Amino acid sequence: AQSVTQLGSHVSVSEGALVLLRCNYSSSVPPYLFWYVQYPNQGLQLLLKYTSAATLVKGINGFEAEFKKSETSFHLTKPSAHMSDAAEYFCAVSPQGNTGKLIFGQGTTLQVKP
Amino acid sequence: ETGVTQSPTHLIKTRGQQVTLRCSSQSGHNTVSWYQQALGQGPQFIFQYYREEENGRGNFPPRFSGLQFPNYSSELNVNALELDDSALYLCASSPGGLGKGPGEQFFGPGTRLTVL
């Protein structure tokens, strides 16, 4: 069965520092991969998605992620953290050919210190 | 363009009761998925509806059931509520369908259910 592991339930960075949120997946074939962000008391918003095109995916708000098949990873990065980036981040996988079921990781809380 | 809306925002029930949660999908979307997000956890897939038919189900007991209406809005029903059903219930709509790629799922703000 497919699964997603997010390394680090809490990540703290200083404003202006690099953001790196880690995500590893398990799948026999490369799945579709997503990063979502959740602000307090809100639903999830899509940051970016990988669907077997370019391995480096650019998303909203300056975030990007690189798909590495050899490492089964899809880490999320942002060169310079902003206070408004503080939120919960979820990595998710969807089996190829499936339009519905998303399998989410446990989430990583990003704290941005001034 | 109206996004995904859910009602009610918050709900408090007692163990053994039944609850119905509602979701209006985004205009033009014919697919609705429901997720349960327990406190401190990632969302867990409950089931998906495509054109009024259930199209995939997660590891949830039969007391979790749903409906999708001709206008593609949807309901999630939970019978015989248990304390562990306390969670944020998220609805997501997408313009996808059978055999299509993973279109973006648009999430509503959720319904916070508390079971006492």
Contact A101 B50 (CB under 8 A): no
- How do beta strands A108-113 and A10-14 pair? parallel
Q: Provide the pLDDT for residue B89.
A: 97
Cβ–Cβ pairs < 8 A, chains A and B? 75
Contact call for B99 and A97, based on CB within 8 A: yes
User: CA-nearest residue of chain B to A106?
Assistant: B42
From CA B94, how far away is CA A49, in angstroms rounded?
Answer: 14
Spatial contact of A81 and A23, defined as CB atoms under 8 Å apart: no
What tens digit of pLDDT does each residue of B20-59 get?
Answer: 999 999 888 888 999 999 998 999 999 999 889 998 899 9
CB within 8 Å: A49 and B105: no
Residue-level pLDDT at A3: 87
Q: How far is B37 from chain A (nearest CA, A)?
A: 10
Contacts of B116 (CB under 8 A, 6+ apart): B12, B13, B14, B15, B83
Q: What is the Cβ-side half-sphere exposure of residue B96, based on CA atoms within 13 angstroms?
A: 22
pLDDT beyond 80 at B100: no
Q: What is the mean pLDDT of chain B?
A: 91
Q: Which residues of A touch B21 (CB under 8 A)?
A: none
pLDDT of A35-89, one tens digit each?
999 998 788 999 998 887 788 999 999 999 999 988 999 999 999 999 999 999 9
- The predicted pLDDT at position B55 comes to 85
